[in-house]
């Protein structure tokens, strides 16, 4: 599969569409886990996961020759850290190097920006993501803010640059 990675605006329609697909997928995966949470817990979780445009360093899409988006990722500043967020690869493009290419593009952008590491938050219901991050050289770290109070069972990782 031939594709390239390009920088786009956070509100690029293709990026918005892929984040919508990711939201639906995560809602399905965590539906039972989060079923007993009170509404305020869900609201706090949503706030912790929100991406504020001012914090975004880069929004990247993997795009095929026709311009169709195959994958998406965001690199954002989180206080003094650089965080990989919202990585998704379309079902048709999985296991073709798209996730790896997006992850490496984020790492390169962070390194070029002076980051000492890239961090990320994931969860046990995302085994494909966990395998990708391990293969890309990310190692486990303790849960960090803003996830400590809202998602204490998160699985968090870093890649030292």
Give residue 37's pLDDT: 72
Query: Which of 12-26, 40-54, 85-99, 106-120 shows the lowest per-residue confidence on average (mean pLDDT)?
Result: 40-54
Percent of the chain with pLDDT over 90: 81
Span 120-147, average pLDDT: 97
Q: Integer distance in angstroms from the first to the last C-alpha of the chain?
A: 29
CA distance 88 to 21: 8
Q: How many domains does the chain have?
A: 1
Structural domain boundaries, residue 106:
3-160
Give the domain CATH number at 24. 3.40.630.30
Give residue 26's pLDDT: 87
pLDDT beyond 70 at 143: yes
CA distance 116 to 123: 24
CA distance 48 to 65: 35
Task: Give tens-digit pLDDT for 30-44.
Answer: 877 666 777 787 788
- The half-sphere exposure of 39 on its side-chain side, counting CA atoms within 13 A, is 0
Give residue 44's pLDDT: 86
């Amino acid at each position: 599969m031939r594709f390239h990675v390009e920088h786009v605006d956070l509100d690029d329609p293709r990026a918005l569409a892929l984040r919508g697909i990711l939201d639906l997928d995560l809602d399905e995966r965590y539906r039972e886990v989060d079923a007993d949470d009170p509404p305020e817990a869900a609201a706090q979780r949503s706030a912790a996961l929100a991406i504020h445009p001012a914090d975004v360093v880069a929004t990247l899409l993997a795009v095929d020759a026709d311009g169709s988006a195959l994958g998406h990722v965001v690199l954002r500043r989180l206080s003094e850290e650089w965080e990989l967020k919202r990585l998704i690869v379309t079902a048709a493009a999985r296991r073709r190097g798209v996730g790896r290419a997006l992850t490496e593009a984020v790492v390169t952008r962070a390194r070029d920006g002076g980051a000492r590491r890239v961090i990320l938050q994931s969860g046990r219901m995302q085994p494909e993501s966990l395998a990708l991050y391990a293969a890309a050289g990310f190692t486990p770290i303790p849960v960090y803010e803003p996830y400590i109070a809202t998602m204490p069972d998160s699985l968090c990782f870093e890649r030292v640059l």
